[in-house]
Amino acid sequence: MYLVTASEMRKMDHLTIDSFGIPGIVLMENAGRGATQILFDKFHDLTQKKVAVVAGRGNNGGDGFVIARYLAQKGIDVTVYLLAQSENIKGDAAANLKLLAPLAIPVIEMPNQNAFSANKTALVHQNVWVDAILGTGLKSEVKDYFRSVIDFMNQSDKPIFAVDIPSGLDSDTGQPCGTCICAQATATFAFAKTGHMLFPGAMLTGTLEIVDIGIPPHIVEEVRPWQYLLTTDRVRTYFEPRPPDAHKGNSGHLLVLAGSPGKTGAAAMTALSAMRMGVGLVTLGIPQSLNPVLEAQVLEVMTCPLPESVNGMLDESSLDVIRELLPGKKCLAIGPGIGTTADTKNLVHRMIQECTIPMVMDADGLNCLAGNTRLLKDIKAPAVLTPHPGEMARLTDTTPDQIQKDRISCTRDLAEKFNVHVVLKGARTVIAHPDGRVFVNPTGNPGMASGGMGDVLTGMIAGLITQGFSVESATHAGVFLHGAAADALEKTKGPFGFLASDLMTAIPEQIKELMFDV
Domains along the chain with CATH numbers: 2-229 (3.40.50.10260), 251-445+452-516 (3.40.1190.20)
CA 175, CA 140: separation in Å to the nearest integer? 11
pLDDT at site 484: 98
Rounded alpha-carbon distances, angstroms, from residue 431 to 227, 384, 387, 411, 440: 10, 10, 11, 7, 6
In DSSP notation, 48-83 reads GSEEEEEE-SSHHHHHHHHHHHHHHHTT-EEEEEES
Backbone φ and ψ of 453, nearest 5°: -60, -40
Instruction: Report the relative pairing of strands 281-287 and 185-189 from DSSP bridges.
Output: unpaired
Could you tell me how many helices (H) and strands (E) the chain has, helices first?
A: 22, 19
Query: What does the pLDDT profile of the chain (518 residues) look like in tens digits?
Result: 999 999 999 999 999 999 999 999 999 999 999 999 999 999 989 999 999 999 999 999 999 999 999 999 999 999 999 999 999 999 999 999 999 999 999 999 999 999 999 999 999 999 999 999 999 999 899 999 999 999 999 999 999 999 999 999 999 999 999 999 999 999 999 999 999 999 999 999 999 999 999 999 999 999 999 999 999 999 999 999 999 999 999 999 999 999 999 999 999 999 999 999 999 999 999 999 999 999 999 999 999 999 999 999 999 999 999 999 999 999 999 999 999 999 999 999 999 999 999 999 999 999 999 999 999 998 999 999 999 999 999 999 999 999 999 999 999 999 999 999 999 999 999 999 999 999 999 999 999 999 999 999 999 999 999 999 999 999 999 999 999 999 999 999 999 999 999 999 999 999 999 999 86
CB 336 within 8 A of CB 362: yes
Contacts of 93 (CB under 8 A, 6+ apart): 28, 57, 58, 59, 61, 62, 65
- pTM, rounded to two decimals: 0.97
CB atoms within 10 A of CB 206: 20
